[in-house]
Amino acid sequence: MAYVPAALFLLSALIILINDNIIVKAATNESHVIKLGSSLSPDSNLSSWLSPSGRFAFGFYRQGNGFTVGIWLVNELNQTEQSIVVWTARRDDPLVSSNSTLRLTGDGLLLQTEQGEQVPIAIYDNRSKVIWQSFDSPTDTILGGQNLAAGTYLVSSVSASNHFSGRFSLQMQGDGNLVSYPVNISTISENAYWSSNTVGPVQLLSLNASGFLVLIPETAHPLATGSYHAHDDDGTIVHRATLDADGIFRLYLHNYSVMSPSSRVSIVWSNLHNQCDVKGFCGLNSYCAVLEKTNKTECRCYPGFVINPVDMFPGCYQNASDDGCTGNEDPRLGYKVASVDNISWPIDHPYSVVPLKNPQVCSDSCLEDCSCKAALYTNGNCNKYKLENAELENATHGFKEELGRGTFGAVYKGTLSTSNKIVAVKRLEKVVEEGVREFKAEITTIGRTHHRNLVQLLGFCIEGSQKLLVYEYMSSGSLAHLLFNKAATVRPSWRERVGIVLDVAKGVLYLHEECGVHIIHCNLKPQNILLDHSWTAQISDFGLARLLVPNDQTKIAAGVEQRSGYLAPEWQKNALISVKSDIYSFGIVLLETVCCRKNIELKVSVPVEMILSSWAYKCFKAGKLYKLVEDDEQNVDLKTLERMVKVGLWCVQDDPALRPLMKNVILMLEGTTDIPVAPSPELRQAC
């Protein structure tokens, strides 16, 4: 029997034939024919479809208090045992209820939620050609016959039972290196915790039917050889390579000829054998320990910290207030030092390294130093850790090189002397004089946001009234500089501008719906969108509006730039501010990015071009969108331009109820849902 990947569900297990007799066939077995209009529902007798081999199922599976759509390995020996999920559709979308329906239509597989929202799972063109399939978009697993192409990645699940995106990624880099990183940090070698150490024209990671896990073009030795002696000719062997929730990449063998469930699954290979080798395995303020007797790993809190029961991921928090100390008081009256033996602390470089004769002297030195948060005694040296204001002042050469100035203060470029790491230091101005504890709570919330499209807050420093924030340095500067500065030597290409818009949308979606504490940015504009060396867009200044005057909307509005044209109309009306206010600002940013011009331009050839949103609507209605990009028309895809403009026009509607949520904006931008024509945005006097 010829080998067919058993779980190529939307390509071979379910071949979609959109024609006069619209049907869905499973390979050539008529018993697996699924007719157009067929549907699945969690609370019905039919909640999934089986693959021809019977090894895989596609449909609804339970997760927590709801359901989601995915593909899993069928366990016919124990129906009550948790299934092994190998793919999840739109894994970070909210769970759906038991009243949801998955329906096969002429447009593809559509998920209809209880609220009536339709979410595409797979899309087909009018010639019956599959233009998207699950096999090309793995989540945390690849199966036999599946590849991980250059530039793509796997992301672990939160746990074996929670298949939302987790904390670790495995990336097939364009340089030929297969690398494991914690998620939402810069993909530089210092942040990696495992690498294949391959460099060259490697195009993909491939897992074949026999369990050979290899980088292609082939390296001297495969990563794993699998079960070459047991080829899956009779369908009894299934291989899968999964980036597990603990961050370790493992190759599994499922032998369906074995009747014992306990011996049916075996681990053939793993890239690491010790969970403590995974960076960030134990979460914030904790460390990883290997137990001597059992050789198992255990996460423990630092002394003075306790388990945080609220966080989705493991971690610890300080169980006492920390209002700092001053040089006028004896720190030994309120603090003590606890020792933890045989521990390595892979944190950025200490601010002080002093040769001392024993650990006790090092402990006393830290206790007497208000800046010292922790000390590592190794090789006769006392390494003290704490980023202090003096270090930041030295790093920025006295706050000399100003990168920019915005609503919340000036930003300076700096280099940490101990690590030569370039950072951006924001010196906050006009911040409300609240207590140190309240300020730390706000900044801690910001610091816990981790997303590839948000500028990472590395740390902060408080000394008296001076408050400093330390961010990742974005080498390509702001989007405003690249779009509007005529002296800029490089301007983003059309494809890069489209990518930037999607990056910003995904960052805003994370703030609105996906982070632990939902955040309304309140000041989204090109000046607050920065780009790294690879032109990935990252949003800055999120969460800072509340630091101006918490819970006072009118004063927040006074603090942000109202003359910029980015603020939604409700700001001026003192109406309720919601996530839809950010959607308006995003719409303006979208149109500016697409057209490479500001929303309000006074020096234009004709008055109708002064306000971009109004002009864009007129060009759209007249069928002359090319006028928006006349300087770059030859490089612009006009169909994509039309889609982008239509989305932008919906976002800038005066009525917040008409503006879409960001998750729907992304669906429209990606072309996975239709975009109706928006009403004309009302012309308002620019404020």
Non-local (6+) Cβ contacts of 263 within 8 A are 255
Element (H, E) at 619: helix 612-621
| Distance separating alpha carbons of residues 681 and 653, to the nearest angstrom | 5
Strand partners, 267: 252
Burial of 443 (0-12, 13-18, 19+ CB in 10 A): buried
Q: Which residues of 589-626 are buried (b: 16+ CB within 10 A; e: fewer)?
A: bbbbbbbbbbbbeeeeeeeebebbbbbbbebbeeeebe
Where b means 16+ CB within 10 Å and e means fewer, 412-434 reads bbbbbeeeebebbbbbbeebeee
Counting Cβ atoms within 10 Å, is residue 331 exposed (0-12), middle (13-18) or buried (19+)? middle
* CA 196 – CA 206 distance, rounded (Å): 14
* 260: amino acid identity, one letter: S
Starting at the edge strand found earlier in the chain, the sheet holding 141-143 runs 141-143, 237-243, 249-255, 265-270
Q: Is 557 helix (H, G, I), strand (E, B) or coil?
A: helix
CB-based contact 148:138 (threshold 8 Å): yes
DSSP code of residue 661: P
As given in the structure block, the two tokens for residue 111 are 């998920």
The CA distance from 589 to 131, in Å, is 29
Which amino acid appears at position 292 of this protein?
A: E
Query: What is the Cα–Cα distance from 146 to 5, expressed in whole angstroms?
Result: 8
| Radius of gyration for the chain, computed over Cα atoms and rounded to the nearest angstrom | 28
Whether the CB-CB separation of 468 and 392 falls below 8 Å is answered with yes
426 is in an annotated binding site: yes
Q: Is the dihedral of CA 649, 652, 655, 661 positive or negative?
A: positive
Strand 316-318 to 352-355 pairing: unpaired
Comparing C-alpha atoms, which of 419, 611, 612, 448 is closest to residue 514? 448
CA–CA separation, 672 and 666 (whole Å): 9
Annotate 499-552 with DSSP letters as a single string: HHHHHHHHHHHIIIIISSS----S--SGGGEEE-TT--EEE-STT-HHHHSTT-
How far apart CA 487 and CA 483 sit, in angstroms, is 10
**Nearest-angstrom CA–CA distance, 154 and 258:** 29
The residues, ordered by sequence, that sit 6+ positions from 369 with a Cβ below 8 Å of its Cβ are: 331, 352, 384
Find residue 157's DSSP bridge partners: 165
Annotated binding site for ATP: 426
Annotated binding site: 426
